[in-house]
Structures are given as structure tokens and as C-alpha cells.
Amino acid sequence: MEQQPNEKPTAEQKHGKSKKTLKIIGICLLCVGVACIVAGFVNLIVSTGKGEFPDLFFLLIIGFPTLAFGGMFTIAGFRKEIATYIKNEDVPVFNELGQQVKPGISAIADAVKNSDVPAVCKKCGAQNAADSRFCKKCGEPLVRICPKCGESSGTDSAFCDKCGAKLD
Ligand SMILES: [Zn+2]
Ligand SMILES: [Zn+2]
């Protein structure tokens, strides 16, 4: 029988085929594992109840690794499906989470912004609100207002924080 080159399975088809094999082996192993564990467990309980040694105890011993291997094969076989499922499921969850977290983050950011160190007057030492421009006690300017852009900078600034204009 001559093999046509275009009938050769592509890498993807081969991959898909091995995945299918993995799924079948995995599910078979899972079933065998579960059956072994159930049979071994039932035998264990029944035998223990009768005060006899569970002669099917070995089923429990082989059941667990079989189940574990079956689980591994099944996960490997269904990896793509699982990944797709997780991807599809997680996106809305993350978006929701983001929307719930966002206000919290802005609240924290606002709190940090508002809890600025109070502006202490250099002249009289009075504590003024962080956004004060003049001392409430002596009227000393607490900030220097940029003549160009209106940004307020510290009184010790020689140049505007925002635009770099010279402050006089
Ligand atoms: Zn003052
Ligand atoms: Zn400026």
C-alpha cells in the first residue's frame, strides 16, 4: 500500500490524536482507579466489621496511584479545553473584581493625597491644611504660585514644579 504524501497526518492531527488517546487512557484509568478504591474500601469496611483481614486491600493500594495517573492523563488530554474554560470564565471575574477594587484604590489614593503633611508656617510655626496657600495665623505665603501655569510649589522652590518657570 502506497502512502500518499497528503494523507500523512500533520503534526497537529498527530497532536490531536495523542490528546485523544490521553483522554481515553486518562478516563479509563480514572474509572479503574475509582472502581479499585471503591471495591477496596468496601472490602476493608466489610472485613474490618467481620474482624477479618481485608484480602482486597491491595485494590486500595493500586487504586490511588491509578486514580492519580488517570487524573494526570485526563488533565493533559483536556488541557486545551480546561485552559479555554478557565480563560473564558476568568475574564468576567477579573473585570468584576477590577471594578470592585478600583473605587477602593481611588479611595486609598485620595486618602493618601489628603493626608499630606500639614503645611507648617516657616515664620510662626502654625500648622495649616496641606492645601493652604497662606498661613492662617500670620498670613505668610506657604506656597509659591507659578505666574505662568498657576501651579503651587513650596516656598523654597526657585522654579515651578510643573512647568519649570522661574518663580520670583
Ligand atoms: Zn504663620
Ligand atoms: Zn508653572
C-alpha 101 to ligand 2 mean position (Å) = 34
C-alpha 161 to ligand 2 mean position (Å) = 7
C-alpha 67 to ligand 1 mean position (Å) = 78
pLDDT band at 28 (very low <50, low <70, confident <90, very high): very high
Please give the share of the chain, as a percent, with pLDDT higher than 90.
18
C-alpha 162 to ligand 1 mean position (Å) = 25
pLDDT value of residue 110 = 66
**Least reliable range by pLDDT among 5-14, 37-46, 122-131, 154-163:** 5-14
Grid cell locating 131: 492645601
pLDDT value of residue 138 = 96
Q: What is the mean pLDDT of residues 67-90?
A: 80
- Per-residue pLDDT tens over the stretch 109-152: 666 555 556 778 888 999 888 878 889 999 988 888 898 998 88
Grid cell locating 10: 500533520
Across the chain, what does the average pLDDT equal?
80
pLDDT value of residue 91 = 63
Using alpha carbons, list the distances in angstroms from residue 132 to 48, 119, 149, 150.
82, 7, 18, 14
Burial 93-114 (b: 16+ CB within 10 A, else e): eeeeeeeeeeeeeeeeeeeeee
pLDDT value of residue 32 = 93
Using alpha carbons, list the distances in angstroms from residue 147 to 93, 140, 160, 167.
49, 18, 9, 7
Task: Tell me the residues surrounding ligand 2 (ion) with CB < 5 Å.
Answer: 146, 148-149, 151, 160, 162-163, 165
d(CA 156, CA 167): 10
Site of grid cell 487512557 = 25
C-alpha 127 to ligand 1 mean position (Å) = 8
